Amino acid sequence: MAAVTAALVVLAALPTSAAAAVQPAGVRREVSYDGRALIMDGTRRMLFSGEMHYTRSTPEMWPSLIAKAKEGGLDVIQTYVFWNVHEPLKGQYNFMGRYDLVKFIKEIQAQGLYVSLRIGPFIEAEWKYGGFPFWLHDVPNITFRSDNEPFKQHMQRFVTQIVNMMKHEGLYYPQGGPIIISQIENEYQMVEPAFRSSGPRYVRWAAAMAVSLQTGVPWMMCKQDDAPDPVKIVPATSFLTYGSDTQLRSPEGIAFAVALFIARKKGSFVNYYMYHGGTNFGRFASAYITTSYYDGAPLDEYGLIWQPTWGHLRELHAAVKQSSEPLLFGKYSGFSLGQEQEAHVFETESKCVAFLVNFEKNQMPKVTFRHISFQLAPKSISILSDCRRVVYETAKIKVQYGSRTAEVVQSLSDINTWKAFKEPIPLDVKRTMYTTSQLLEQLSATKDETDYLWYTVSHEYRPIGDGQLVLLNVESRAHIVHAFLNNQYVALYKIPDIIDSVTQTTFATPAGNDAVALNLAVMGKGEVWINGESIGRYWVSFKAPSGNPSQSL
C-alpha cells in the first residue's frame, strides 16, 4: 500500500458575494488559509483526508466506504475529477452511475465530511491518458499542458463546466456545501522543463484561470513549487504494476510519516493516497497498471476494513486531534535529543504536546525530555499529551491483526458451461479498412475503442531455384500472427498468454452481501465482462519476481 501525507502549503479563499448571499442572516461560511492551517469560519482546523475515487467503486458501495472512513477518523474525502469518463465524446457528457460526481459528493456531505476536489483536468492517477479524453488527440494544432490556445480553450471549458455544476448544486462551502478546497493541474513540475518558457506561462495561466472562477474556497497545485500565490502544493505517491510483487507499506511506517509531517512541517492537512483504492474498471487503467488499485489501503479493494492499518491510523488521528489546540495555535520549538533523536514541541499558555522522534532502525535509546526519561522504540515517534504522558507510539500497534478470507461459492472450470466465439481471420488484403505502406499508430487507428487491431500483409514470393526452403521470421513481443500460404492456413504464432477468442458463461448471483471476486489464476491475458460491463483487464500469466501473478482475483 502506498499511503502518504499531503502538505497543504497554500492557499487563498475567495468568497463571492453570491455565495454569501444564500446564507441565513448573520451566518457566513468561509474558508481561508493563513500559512499554518485551513481556517473555516474563523477557526483553524486540523484535518485528516483520504483519497477515494468514485470511478473506482460503485454507487452502492459509497455510503459504506464513506462511513468507514469517518469512523476511521477522517474529516475529508479527496477525489480527482475524471475528464475522459465525463466527456468521452466532445460536447457529450456522462455523469451517470459510478460517474455521478454530484451524488458522490452529496453522500459525503450527508455523512458530515468535507470534500477536496482535484479537478485537474490532467490527473495522472495511473489512469488512461492521465484523464484526458482521447478526442483531444485530434484537435488541430494542440499541445497538451502548455501555453497553447487550443488546449487552454478546452481545459478552461471543462474546468468551468465542473465548477458551474458544483455551484449549481450548492456544493461549495460558502454555499453550505462540503467542498472546502480544489486543485488545478497535477504534478506539472515533473514535466515543466520540457516546455521551456511555455511551462511557467502555463502555470501562471492555470492558476489565474482557476482563481477567476470564484469558487469561494482555496485552490492548490500538486508538486508545483513555482505556483503563484494564492495557489501552492501537495505531494503524490507510487503504484503497483503487472510484473511486480505487492509491497504493502507497514502501518507503523505510515504512522511514522504522518506524525513526522505534523511535527517537522507543522502539518495541519494530511491526505492518504489511497484510503480506498478500489478497482480500475474497464480499460481505464494506464499501461501495465493492475486492475486492483491499492488493495492494501485502510479500506481494501472491496471496501473491507484492512487491519491493523485502519485501526492504527484511527488511533493516531485521535491522539493528534486531542492536542489540536497547541498544534494549531501554540509556539513551536525543535531540538536534538541525541545523534538520531529529536523533539518537536507545540505549546500555548495552558496546553502542550511533544513529538519524540527516533530515527534509528535497530536501537531503543533512552532520552530525557523535561526531566522525564523515555525509552523510544526503533524508528518511531512518541506523542506526549501535556508534554508528559505518552498517548501514542507509531511503532506500537494495539489493534488486533485482521485477515481476509475467501470461500469458493462456485467453480466455473467445467468446459461444458462455456461458449466460445472466435473472431474471423481476414484473408483479403484489399477488403481491409486501411491500406498503408507502414504500420499504423494503434490509438489513431482505433480511436481508443478497443485494445485490439488486426494487420494483414501479403508477399508474393518467386523462388529462384527448385527445392529452396522459405522461412517466415516473426519478431513480436505481444501479438498474434496467423500465416497463410496460397490462402491455406499454415501456422499460428502467439505469446502463450494472448487470447484470440472470446468465451462468456453464466452463474447465479452468490447469496449474501459479501464482496465477490473471480479467481483468474488459470487464465492468461484479456478483459472480463459481467452482465455486459467490463470489470477490468487481467494478465495472470505475466509473473512477478516471486513467480506469482501480480493479481489473480
Residues 50-99: tens digit of each pLDDT: 999 999 999 999 999 999 999 999 999 999 999 999 999 999 999 999 99
Distance, in Å, from the CA atom of 283 to the CA atom of 517, rounded to the nearest integer, reads 18
Distance, in Å, from the CA atom of 169 to the CA atom of 178, rounded to the nearest integer, reads 11
444 to each of 89, 447, 472, 524, how far by Cα in Å? 15, 5, 29, 27
Distance, in Å, from the CA atom of 239 to the CA atom of 259, rounded to the nearest integer, reads 23
Q: How many CA atoms lie within 13 A of 419 on its CB side?
A: 4
What's the pLDDT at 231? 53
Q: Are 512 and 203 in contact, with CB atoms under 8 Å apart?
A: no
Of 192, 193, 222, the closest CA to residue 210 belongs to 222
Is residue 235 packed enough to be buried (19+ CB in 10 Å), middle (13-18) or exposed (0-12)? middle
Distance, in Å, from the CA atom of 146 to the CA atom of 152, rounded to the nearest integer, reads 8
Q: Return the higher-pLDDT residue of 484 and 55.
A: 55
What's the pLDDT at 417? 86
Evaluate if residue 440 carries a pLDDT over 90.
Answer: no
Q: What are the pLDDT digits (tens) for 117-141?
A: 999 999 999 999 999 999 999 999 9
In the chain, where the domains are located: 17-319, 324-393, 419-494
Residues in a beta bridge with 32: 39
Which of the four pLDDT bands, split at 50, 70 and 90, describes residue 12? Answer: very low
> Could you identify the residue written with the cell 497498471?
289
Residues in a beta bridge with 116: 78, 181
Q: What are the pLDDT digits (tens) for 145-204?
A: 999 999 999 999 999 999 999 999 999 999 999 999 999 999 999 999 999 999 999 999
Q: Return the higher-pLDDT residue of 500 and 181.
A: 181
> Could you identify the residue written with the cell 459481467?
530
What's the pLDDT at 5? 36
Evaluate if residue 8 carries a pLDDT over 50.
Answer: no
**The three three-digit cell numbers of residue 340, written as one number:** 538520531
Q: Are 121 and 127 in contact, with CB atoms under 8 Å apart?
A: no
17-319: CATH architecture: Alpha-Beta Barrel (3.20)
HEC readout, 465-499: CCCCCCCCCCCCCCCEEEEEECCEEEEEEECCCCC
Q: pTM here?
A: 0.92
Q: Mean pLDDT, to the nearest integer, of 466-479? A: 74
What's the pLDDT at 502? 85
Contacts of 360 (CB under 8 A, 6+ apart): 340, 341, 378, 379
Of 157, 162, 152, 154, the closest CA to residue 183 belongs to 162
What's the pLDDT at 24? 53
What's the pLDDT at 230? 62
Evaluate if residue 232 carries a pLDDT over 50.
Answer: no
What's the pLDDT at 485? 83
Write down the CATH number for the domain with range 324-393: 2.60.40
Distance, in Å, from the CA atom of 490 to the CA atom of 481, rounded to the nearest integer, reads 11
Of 312, 319, 374, the closest CA to residue 342 belongs to 374
Q: Are 102 and 56 in contact, with CB atoms under 8 Å apart?
A: no
Evaluate if residue 222 carries a pLDDT over 80.
Answer: yes
